[in-house]
Amino acid sequence: MNKKTTIYDIAKVLDITAASVSRALNNNPKISESTRKLVLETAAKMNYKQNKLALALRSGKSYNVGVIVPRIDSNFFASVIRGIEEELYAHKYNVIICQTHEDEKREFENINTLLNAQVDGILMSVSNFTSESDSSENDRIIKRVIEKNVPLIFFDRKKNIDGVSSVTINDYDVSYLATKHLIEQGCSRIAHFKGNQSLEIFANRLAGYKQALLDNGIAFNESYVVQTKSSVEAGALAVNALMKLKNPPDAIFSSSDFAALGAIQQLKKEGLRIPEDFCVVGFGNEPFTDFMELPMSTVDQVPLEMGKMTAKVFLEHIDNTGNVKIEKKVVLTSELNIRQSSLRSNSQALEVVNNKKGVKI
């Protein structure tokens, strides 16, 4: 096995001290530019690799950041991760990605593993089934993150914890707009596929939906609200239940594109025309929504922008040398993409035909 090159080997070749080599490699201002250049050139020729662990111990930084998401096989979370990586790459940070698969135990293990790996920060979207109880294991380990002064930034799905920053979208406002859009298309019996109400983003989507009904003189009907998972199967099952009602709905605003897709498939099986008989709006702007036979109206959650902003908030925390308390609550503006699955208006329908991406509100 080949012996690894050390700073002592470089020092011997250049006839200088190992301390001088170390300072040159770490851009110490006490070393002249000519010496630094010579050391770097020699290190490259001798295939010298810096000990990242030792460097981290000296600087107090590992230059590793943990990112925890429910799943990476989702366009939304994949795009958020891309935004985080693009923003942090310029600052020489590496990203360690963990998945919870919507499981509290895995979420706990992910946080614990990242802490043990000495990451410089944790950027996290909480599990769909995370308990809100103060006595839960996950709450205790999150408190441990805060106590260790490791920057913790929530994105999309968050918990409200003092001293913890977050980056979300305007879920309430855009849900209000989506519901109002359906009302403007002549729908009066609008159902809602809601997510886990212990998570603020889903509670805000339900609240925006309810307020839009109220402001437009439509009574809220509890039987039109169905809690669903983010899956095609869940959407189809929810539609089955809704269509058995004495007075079934004529539209759906779903908190998930996947559930909305399942709803559309099931509605077509039952012989209903979309949007003539039934309108549908999803949430997430997954790529398939724009390439369906009938493109789906949906909310764009601006994931790339969310990822970049989450990384920027982390950098603000890590650069806080004055130990000033930072707690940022960033709310990004999302967009409602109106496509053919919810359009009955002839003028807007013509605009959508001419502009496949849809009308952004």
Determine, yes or no, domain membership for 42: yes
Whole-angstrom Cα distance, residue 347 to residue 120?
53
Question: Where residue 110 sits, what CATH number does that domain have?
Answer: 3.40.50.2300
Q: pLDDT tens, 283-334?
A: 999 999 999 999 999 999 999 999 999 999 999 998 876 565 678 999 999 9
Examine the domain organization and report whether 250 and 310 are in the same domain: no
Determine, yes or no, domain membership for 195: yes
Backbone angles phi, psi at 355, to 5 degrees: -135, 90
pLDDT of 354 over the 70 cut = no
Examine the domain organization and report whether 151 and 119 are in the same domain: yes
Per the structure, how many domains does the chain have? Answer: 3
pLDDT band at 184 (very low <50, low <70, confident <90, very high): very high
Determine, yes or no, domain membership for 260: yes
pLDDT of amino acid 216:
98
Contact between 355 and 309 (Cβ < 8 Å): no
Examine the domain organization and report whether 93 and 141 are in the same domain: yes
pLDDT of amino acid 65:
97
Please tell me what DSSP assigns to residue 91: T
Determine, yes or no, domain membership for 56: no
Examine the domain organization and report whether 162 and 256 are in the same domain: no
Question: Where residue 15 sits, what CATH number does that domain have?
Answer: 1.10.260.40
pLDDT of 218 over the 80 cut = yes
CB-based burial of residue 4 (10 Å sphere; 0-12 exposed, 13-18 middle, 19+ buried)?
exposed
Examine the domain organization and report whether 164 and 78 are in the same domain: yes
Examine the domain organization and report whether 107 and 220 are in the same domain: no
Q: pLDDT tens, 40-73?
A: 899 888 888 776 555 665 556 789 999 999 999 8
Determine, yes or no, domain membership for 111: yes
Examine the domain organization and report whether 290 and 339 are in the same domain: yes
> Where do the H-state alpha helices sit in the chain?
7-14, 18-25, 33-45, 52-59, 75-89, 104-116, 137-147, 171-184, 200-215, 232-242, 257-269, 303-318, 346-354
End-to-end CA, the chain:
63
pLDDT of amino acid 4:
82
Whole-angstrom Cα distance, residue 309 to residue 155?
9
Strand partners, 359: 338
Examine the domain organization and report whether 297 and 318 are in the same domain: no
Determine, yes or no, domain membership for 89: yes
pLDDT of 140 over the 90 cut = no
Examine the domain organization and report whether 225 and 289 are in the same domain: yes
pTM of the model: 0.81
Determine, yes or no, domain membership for 55: no
Q: Please tell me which residue, 62 or 201, carries the higher pLDDT value.
A: 201
Structural domain boundaries enclosing 32: 7-50
Examine the domain organization and report whether 176 and 115 are in the same domain: no
Examine the domain organization and report whether 237 and 353 are in the same domain: yes
Determine, yes or no, domain membership for 57: no
